[in-house]
Amino acid sequence: MKLEGVEIHHVSLPLVGPFRTSFGTQTTRDLLVLRVVTDVGEGWGECVTMPSPLYSAEYTEGAADVLRRFLVPALAGRSDLDGAAVLPALAAVKGHRMAKAALEMGVLDAELRAAGRSFARELGAVHDRVPCGVSVGIMDSIPELLDAVGGYLDEGYLRIKLKIEPGWDVEPVRAVRERFGDGVLLQVDANTAYTLGDAAQLARLDPFDLLLVEQPLEEEDVLGHADLAKLVRTPICLDESITSARDAAAAIRLGACSVVNVKPGRVGGYLEARRIHDVAAAHGVPVWCGGMLETGLGRAANVALAALPGFTLPGDTSASGRYYREDITEPFVLADGHLAVPQGPGLGVLPVPERLAVVTTRTEWVPG
Ligand code: NPQ
Ligand code: MG
């Protein structure tokens, strides 16, 4: 394959409601959709950065800049391009994994569409549907939270994740357990909001039989998570700290986590995500597929990934309607708490042209 160029779509999608985490409140989803044009056809990639570097160091305008100035040019002129060649070809550029992941996704989609093979088949999926969880933002009050959780359980979600921060942790968990019972699969995500000095407070979550606590400490503090793991009973899951299969192997060996959240954007793409799955599976460590409020494009690929055998916990692979009144693809709809794994060539879904046009604020063409 040969890259002819990449059309970067700057997209702004309204969220169905504000989504509050320990790092801020989002009301729209501003991200990049890439139309990757090759000599065998086109493919679609999605860059999951946020407009500000609050979840991790990457941010959307920075991703557009590195794509246009460094990443797309690094693939230009190659005649032997395929999905697997992308990350190695970009190795000279440090970091920028979400931008790299988007480009790899688009090239892989073009390759697989041309070959008539699905993402699911390519990655090694073993299920034709995946169980889904939902991530529930921080709310102004407990009654508001209980309404939201009740609504999601009524919709059929099989696992609830509560966003937490200091001052919003034990009480919301207790309230959800009291209202909805011990049978609900329940976990929490701190997005780095705590320190090791908060260990006693985090240990107060022990009695609630949570599946896991996600990323309590800062991104760089893998060793701190290993120390924390000795002070709390809830299993620790890493998200932000894991940016590669090597990180995952190190974190597991250090005892810093006993579960891993796999987000393809965070780790530089779906192929590295599969390697993390493989490393974790070799250690008997369960993984689950995280979410970055993807459009239907990223959601399609995430659902394919989540169908690999080691993804033994429900993911943040929610239905389109959890975030968007109108997605840019045909919507993913929950059926019996599951999403169907797309089986068509490539991602198995395409943007609806009129929908993409409505939410695109700007496009730019970057020649290959
Ligand atoms: C997490 N995701 O697991 C994140 C982080 C996150 C589904 O909880 C806009 C764009 C808002 C990306 C909020 C979920 C976001 C975002 C949170 C990502 O840590
Ligand atoms: Mg997280």
pLDDT averaged per 10 residues, the chain (length 368): 98 98 96 98 98 98 98 95 98 98 98 98 98 98 98 98 98 98 98 98 98 98 98 98 98 98 98 98 98 98 98 98 98 98 98 98 97
Q: Distance between CA atoms of 73 and 118, rounded to whole angstroms?
A: 27
CA 153 to ligand 1 center in whole angstroms: 20
Say what the pLDDT of residue 223 is: 98
* Contact call for residues 308 and 277 (beta carbons, < 8 A): yes
Residue for token pair 């697989």: 112
pTM here is 0.97
- C-beta 55 within 6 A of ligand 1: yes
Task: Provide the residue ranges of all domains of the chain, joining segments of one domain with +.
Answer: 3-116+350-367, 121-340
- C-beta 239 within 6 A of ligand 1: yes
Q: How many CB atoms lie within 10 A of CB 52?
A: 13
One CATH from 3.55.40.20, 3.30.390.10, 3.40.50.1000, 3.20.20.80 for 3-116+350-367: 3.30.390.10
The CATH number that domain 121-340 falls under is 3.20.20.120
Say what the pLDDT of residue 113 is: 98
* Contact call for residues 187 and 212 (beta carbons, < 8 A): yes
- C-beta 50 within 6 A of ligand 1: yes
Say what the pLDDT of residue 175 is: 98
* Contact call for residues 342 and 298 (beta carbons, < 8 A): no
Report every protein residue that has its C-beta within 5 angstroms of ion ligand 2. Answer: 189, 214, 239
Q: Distance between CA atoms of 148 and 153, rounded to whole angstroms?
A: 9
230 in active site = no
Among residues 349, 336, 254, 368, the alpha carbon closest in space to that of 295 is found at 349
Say what the pLDDT of residue 279 is: 98
94 in active site = no
Residue of the nearest CA to atom 18 in ligand 1?
Answer: 292
Say what the pLDDT of residue 181 is: 98
Buried b (16+ CB within 10 A) or exposed e, 264-294: bbbbbbbbbbbbbbebbbeeebbbbbbbbbb
3-class DSSP assignment, residue 145 = helix
How large is the angle between the packed helices 270-282 and 296-306, nearest 10 degrees?
30
CA 291 to ligand 1 center in whole angstroms: 6
